[in-house]
Chain A
């Protein structure tokens, strides 16, 4: 990741920026201290009930017809676990009806593009809930292991499966640290025209690529905003003027299994 020169708070007067990828341990430690302070500030502000409101749909810019997906864009999600209530499955049902996956009566092997997790701290008993789906990594392990090139990362950061060349070997399912991918065991019919899916191929969250290409937000984000807690924010992480980039720059966000270096495009707060 490169430094954004106009990322406000991170840039000093000398023109130096706080980089997400620090080059030395010293810098890294300084950054950690800085971020720890920022985190504390976030909590305080949250307690006062001032910030983190207005989460939700942010109109994405639609590309012109015939234009390629651009690498200048990095689509991402920011999910606030404090607004994600246990038991709410608005995002899951929205994804199901949008993309046409559903229970087929085989719970152990059914496709699952997005799922709700409840995480419990065994020491304190405190729990929180969060949606888990493909994290749209910048360095996706599923792409590394794919023997046919079916698993790929689009220029704008969306990780997809090209089912035309997927042979159903399921290496990607093994490689994914987030258990985000599913294999389709049963024949499928009555698919959505914009979301093809069929037996013998692997599939996962597409970040509603058909909607994103139209300049709309993913179905889960829309549903969370309409009927859920408004915990999800979608936008371009590379565009410093976008709501998501501003929030990511201002608050301590967490990427799950950040230690693996996959650089996910999905970030969480309050987990």
Chain B
């Protein structure tokens, strides 16, 4: 008798657990929750690197790019801020690309959420403007699979 009750309780618990799991799977399928930032899609087909890599490493890539560009005059364009801005421009109500002052700005969507201040736009233009001919418009290359390999590959490309 006692064993039967324990068995029943076990069955009920298993069923409840299964139901909870199924529910969570269903919620995940419905998409990310509302409170997560939803940055606008870029204009191009794909980004210069995988989205996950860019989320983790865009700041490092931009930092190296800036030194190469300012000090050595290298305009390869792959991690050019100008190019990011061009592709990820978000149009405002007036149909023109918004500046960093607007919370809809591509960079602000995530940076506001993460509470990370960006100083780039104290000096840099935050929306597309007249384009310099040196901007490389070739289709973005794909990266190797692992982040470490990718960063190594990128850093090697700077050592010329």
Given contacts A198-B122, A201-B123, contact A192 B73 (CB under 8 A): no
By a CB distance below 8 angstroms, the chain A residues around B134 are 65, 210, 213-214
Main secondary structure of the interface of B (DSSP, over half): loop
Q: Does B104 sit at the interface, judged by CB under 8 A?
A: no
| Cα(A124)–Cα(B129), bound, Å | 50
Q: Which of A69, A164, A189, A190 contacts B72 (CB 8 A)?
A: A69
Contact between chains at B123 and A65 (CB < 8 Å): no
In angstroms, how far is the closest chain A Cβ from the Cβ of B155? 15
Contact between chains at B72 and A155 (CB < 8 Å): yes
By a CB distance below 8 angstroms, the chain B residues around A199 are 122
B interface footprint on A205-220 (CB within 8 Å = 1, 0 otherwise): 0000110011000000
In angstroms, how far is the closest chain A Cβ from the Cβ of B93? 18
Given contacts A63-B73, A65-B76, A69-B73, contact A198 B125 (CB under 8 A): no
Identify the B interface with A (CB < 8 A).
66-67, 70-77, 82, 85, 99, 101, 122-125, 128-134, 136, 160
Of chain B, the residue at the smallest CB distance from A196 is B123
Q: List 6 A-B contacts (CB under 8 A).
A: A65-B77, A66-B74, A190-B99, A194-B132, A198-B122, A214-B133
Contact between chains at A164 and B132 (CB < 8 Å): no
Q: Does A136 sit at the interface, judged by CB under 8 A?
A: no
By a CB distance below 8 angstroms, the chain A residues around B74 are 66-68
| Cα(A117)–Cα(B73), bound, Å | 31
Identify which of residues 154-170 in chain A touch chain B, using a CB-to-CB cut-off of 8 Å: 154-156, 160, 162-164
By a CB distance below 8 angstroms, the chain B residues around A213 are 73, 75, 134
Of chain A, the residue at the smallest CB distance from B69 is A213
**5 closest cross-chain pairs (CB), A and B:** A198-B123, A69-B73, A196-B123, A198-B122, A194-B132
By a CB distance below 8 angstroms, the chain A residues around B125 are 190-193, 196
Given contacts A201-B123, A213-B75, contact A192 B70 (CB under 8 A): no
Q: Does A30 sit at the interface, judged by CB under 8 A?
A: no
Q: Does A197 sit at the interface, judged by CB under 8 A?
A: yes
Q: Which of B66, B101, B160 contacts A68 (CB 8 A)?
A: B160
Contact between chains at A214 and B132 (CB < 8 Å): yes
In angstroms, how far is the closest chain B Cβ from the Cβ of A178? 22
In angstroms, how far is the closest chain B Cβ from the Cβ of A256? 26
Q: Which of B71, B72, B73, B128 contacts A193 (CB 8 A)?
A: B128
| Cα(A188)–Cα(B101), bound, Å | 13
By a CB distance below 8 angstroms, the chain B residues around A198 are 122-124
Identify which of residues 134-166 in chain A touch chain B, using a CB-to-CB cut-off of 8 Å: 152, 154-156, 160, 162-164
